[in-house]
């Protein structure tokens, strides 16, 4: 297969005196943000890195050629594809390689070289061919890694797992400092410009444990709110009520996200628009539908009042069927995918808690405005599409709430006898501050559809799929306040094929 080699006339601009003056030399380790791979398809993966200077506030100058190679062995002896790409200033000197012509369902190792310096070797893995009988698949799912609040021991543990891919479902960075007992610092305020978002990603990605998780597995990513700003909905947020300046901030944030993730060159952000939702098939066993519930959603119900008090009580607007979470186009794409599904399991990787979690008491109903509970008709449409799928078994994997949850997703939350149409698991937070376990148990008690909840601990989930069952384990970190803290399996559940709903393992 012919690979694309990018040769740019701009490379010569590197030697122009005016640009040379502005150009800082690359750092002794130009790969200080690590290497990564993602978008694992049967015959292709994306390889990623980003070049840095010694001073993170400075940028390399001009267009810089970067060589890459992918091999069948860890020692990089059996190179199967290689080429040269360019790191361009306009994309933050990030490098994204769409490698094609690979074999399905096998590991590969890769490396970049710039100006005679080689990157660490990363490992990746292609997906099984769509038609291949596939006995077992394993994925981690995780979210929420506020840098100041803890160390990434959970990412170190994810690096050591045996996985087909890592699913990361949002809050990769945080825009603000908040919470207790910081172990390290952002050293800067809320980013609103492209340079400021780049610096925030660079800070997070300099972490060795996070780099280990990226270098060990291909990642499939979506975002939540903190990649832009807390609780934003489409073109506004509680802190940014005017869409015009906010869309400029969103454009900067989306570009920085693309620059720092192993995402395809073929899918780049355009201003404030970036189509992130996508679908991945892993043999005959699973299809993963990755959704974006931030970019296209309607404003919070009873907005802007609900932008102050984040809970909805007696808000009729909540039930307006016109209010959307995914936007019309993504909603139709989702329903179409569910209708055509033909694997044993559907996985939906998404950002926020999907199950109803009513926190009202004494006949009062109280719902969190920013999650699916603020968009119940949109959730109904999504679950109707799930129920209509020929694939009976759908697992929804989520994040955002900084706690662990296992829940039965009901066709109708108003009817206690309504069938369970899918099963939801939320895999805690990597470091972000948790709610108290007392508050969590109160929600479990009030909502019979919620079968398990756990606050007070950080970590991630592992889902292992087989033809007859899915096993989901929640792995928790002893303390995010210590580096290299041990991780243990706290609890496991099974979902039996053909019988949606949480069961103890």
Smallest gap, in angstroms, from Cβ of residue 437 to Ca ion? 20
Which residue lies nearer to Ca ion by CB, 223 or 282? 223
Where are the strands (E) in 159-256, listed by range?
Answer: 165-168, 218-221
Which residue lies nearer to Ca ion by CB, 346 or 352? 352
Residue 450 to residue 414: CA distance in whole angstroms: 14
DSSP code of 233?
A: B
Which residue lies nearer to Fe ion by CB, 144 or 457? 144
Binding-residue pattern over the window 373 to 402 for Ca ion, x denoting contact by CB under 5 A: ---------------------------x--
> How crowded is residue 278: how many other Cβ atoms within 10 Å of its Cβ?
19
225 lies in the binding site for Ca ion (CB under 5 A): yes
- Find the part of the chain contacting Ca ion (CB under 5 A) among 3-11, 106-114, 168-176, 334-342: 168-176
Smallest gap, in angstroms, from Cβ of residue 426 to Ca ion? 11
Which residue lies nearer to Fe ion by CB, 225 or 278? 225
Smallest gap, in angstroms, from Cβ of residue 25 to Fe ion? 37
Q: For residue 306, what are the contacts with CB-CB under 8 A and spacing of at least 6? A: 300, 312, 315, 369, 374
Q: For residue 431, what are the contacts with CB-CB under 8 A and spacing of at least 6? A: 144, 145, 146, 147, 149, 150, 151, 152, 154, 458, 480
Token reading at 501: 């709903």
Token reading at 43: 């015959």
- Find the part of the chain contacting Ca ion (CB under 5 A) among 63-71, 95-103, 163-171, 447-455: 163-171
Of 448, 334, 427, the C-alpha closest to 387 is 334
Site for Fe ion in 123-182 (CB under 5 A): 144, 171
Of 139, 119, 142, 147, the C-alpha closest to 215 is 119
Which of the choices Ca ion, Fe ion, none does residue 432 contact, using the CB cut-off of 5 to 8 A by kind? Fe ion
For the chain, give the longest Cα–Cα distance.
74
Judge contact between 24 and 50, C-beta under 8 A. no
- Find the part of the chain contacting Fe ion (CB under 5 A) among 155-163, 372-380, 431-439, 479-487: 431-439
Smallest gap, in angstroms, from Cβ of residue 123 to Ca ion? 29
Smallest gap, in angstroms, from Cβ of residue 398 to Ca ion? 10
224 lies in the binding site for Ca ion (CB under 5 A): yes
Rg (CA), the chain: 22
225 lies in the binding site for Fe ion (CB under 5 A): no
Residue 81 to residue 93: CA distance in whole angstroms: 22
Q: Angle at CA 501, nearest 5°, toward 499 and 504?
A: 105
In three-state secondary structure terms, 349 is: strand
Which residue lies nearer to Fe ion by CB, 49 or 403? 403
Which residue lies nearer to Fe ion by CB, 432 or 476? 432
In three-state secondary structure terms, 336 is: helix
Smallest gap, in angstroms, from Cβ of residue 364 to Fe ion? 27
- Find the part of the chain contacting Fe ion (CB under 5 A) among 316-324, 424-432, 462-470, 483-491: 424-432
Which residue lies nearer to Ca ion by CB, 87 or 249? 249
Site for Fe ion in 271-290 (CB under 5 A): none
153 membership: H or E segment, kind and range? helix 153-160
Which residue lies nearer to Fe ion by CB, 129 or 207? 207
DSSP string covering 34-86, please? -EEEE---SS-EEEEEE--BSSTTS-B-S-EEEEEEEESSTTS-SEEEEEEEE
Token reading at 93: 């000197």
Which residue lies nearer to Ca ion by CB, 98 or 224? 224
408 lies in the binding site for Ca ion (CB under 5 A): no
Which residue lies nearer to Ca ion by CB, 171 or 287? 171
Site for Ca ion in 461-490 (CB under 5 A): none
Of 50, 72, 73, the C-alpha closest to 60 is 50
- Find the part of the chain contacting Ca ion (CB under 5 A) among 167-175, 269-277, 331-339, 464-472: 167-175
Q: For residue 137, what are the contacts with CB-CB under 8 A and spacing of at least 6? A: 164, 282, 283, 285, 286, 464, 465
293 lies in the binding site for Ca ion (CB under 5 A): no
Q: What are phi and psi of 378, to 5 degrees?
A: -65, -40
Size of the site for Ca ion (CB under 5 A): 4
Which of the choices Fe ion, Ca ion, none does residue 225 contact, using the CB cut-off of 5 to 8 A by kind? Ca ion
Which residue lies nearer to Fe ion by CB, 175 or 356? 175
Which of the choices Fe ion, Ca ion, none does residue 207 contact, using the CB cut-off of 5 to 8 A by kind? none
Among 432, 440, 476, 485, binds Fe ion (CB under 5 A): 432
Q: What are phi and psi of 128, to 5 degrees?
A: -60, 150
Which residue lies nearer to Ca ion by CB, 52 or 457? 457
- Residue reference for tokens 């109280």: 366
Token reading at 440: 């969590």
Which of the choices Ca ion, Fe ion, none does residue 211 contact, using the CB cut-off of 5 to 8 A by kind? none
Which of the choices Fe ion, Ca ion, none does residue 52 contact, using the CB cut-off of 5 to 8 A by kind? none
Binding region for Fe ion (CB under 5 A): 144, 171, 432
Binding region for Ca ion (CB under 5 A): 171, 224-225, 400
């Amino acid at each position: 297969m012919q690979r694309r080699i990018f040769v740019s006339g701009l490379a010569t601009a590197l030697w122009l005196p005016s640009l040379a003056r502005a150009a800082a030399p690359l750092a002794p380790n130009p790969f200080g943000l690590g290497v990564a791979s993602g978008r694992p398809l049967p015959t292709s993966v994306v390889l990623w890195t980003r070049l840095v200077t010694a001073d993170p506030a400075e940028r390399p100058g001009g267009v810089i050629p970067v060589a890459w190679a992918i091999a069948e062995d860890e020692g990089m002896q059996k190179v199967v594809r290689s080429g040269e790409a360019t790191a361009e200033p306009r994309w933050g000197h990030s490098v994204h390689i769409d490698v094609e012509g690979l074999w399905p369902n096998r590991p590969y190792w890769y490396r970049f070289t710039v100006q005679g310096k080689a990157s660490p070797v990363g490992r990746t893995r292609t997906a099984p061919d769509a038609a291949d009988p596939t006995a077992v698949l394993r994925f981690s799912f995780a979210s929420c890694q506020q840098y100041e609040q803890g160390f990434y021991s959970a990412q170190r543990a994810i690096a050591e797992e045996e996985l087909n891919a890592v699913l990361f479902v949002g809050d990769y960075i945080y825009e603000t400092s908040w919470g207790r007992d910081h172990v390290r610092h952002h050293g800067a305020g809320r980013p609103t410009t492209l340079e400021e978002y780049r610096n925030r990603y660079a800070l997070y990605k300099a972490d060795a444990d996070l780099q280990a998780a990226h270098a060990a597995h291909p990642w499939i990513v979506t975002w939540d709110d903190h990649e832009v700003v807390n609780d934003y909905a489409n073109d506004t947020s509680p802190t940014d009520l005017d869409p015009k300046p906010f869309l400029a901030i969103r454009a900067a944030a989306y570009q920085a996200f693309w620059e720092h993730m192993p995402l395809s060159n073929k899918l780049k952000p355009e201003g404030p628009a970036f189509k992130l939702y996508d679908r991945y098939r892993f043999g005959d066993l699973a299809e993963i539908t990755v959704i974006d519930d931030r970019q296209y959603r309607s404003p919070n119900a009873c907005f802007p009042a609900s932008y102050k008090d984040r809970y909805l009580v007696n808000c009729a607007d909540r039930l307006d069927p016109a209010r959307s979470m995914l936007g019309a186009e993504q909603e139709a794409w989702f329903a179409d995918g569910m209708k055509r599904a033909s694997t044993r399991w559907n996985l939906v990787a998404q950002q926020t808690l999907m199950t109803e979690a009513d926190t009202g008491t004494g006949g009062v109903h109280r719902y969190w405005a920013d999650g699916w509970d603020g968009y119940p008709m949109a959730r109904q449409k999504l679950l109707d599409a799930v129920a209509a799928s020929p694939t009976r078994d759908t697992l929804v994997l989520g994040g955002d709430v900084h706690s662990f949850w296992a829940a039965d997703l009901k066709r109708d939350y108003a009817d206690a006898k309504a069938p369970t149409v899918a099963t939801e698991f939320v895999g805690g937070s990597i470091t972000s501050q948790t709610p108290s376990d007392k508050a969590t148990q109160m929600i479990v008690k009030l909502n019979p559809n919620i079968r398990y909840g756990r606050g007070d601990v950080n970590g991630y989930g592992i889902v292992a799929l087989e033809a007859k069952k899915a096993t989901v384990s929640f792995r928790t970190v002893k303390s995010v306040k210590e580096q290299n803290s041990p991780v243990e399996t706290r609890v496991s559940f099974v979902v039996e094929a053909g019988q949606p709903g949480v069961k103890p393992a």
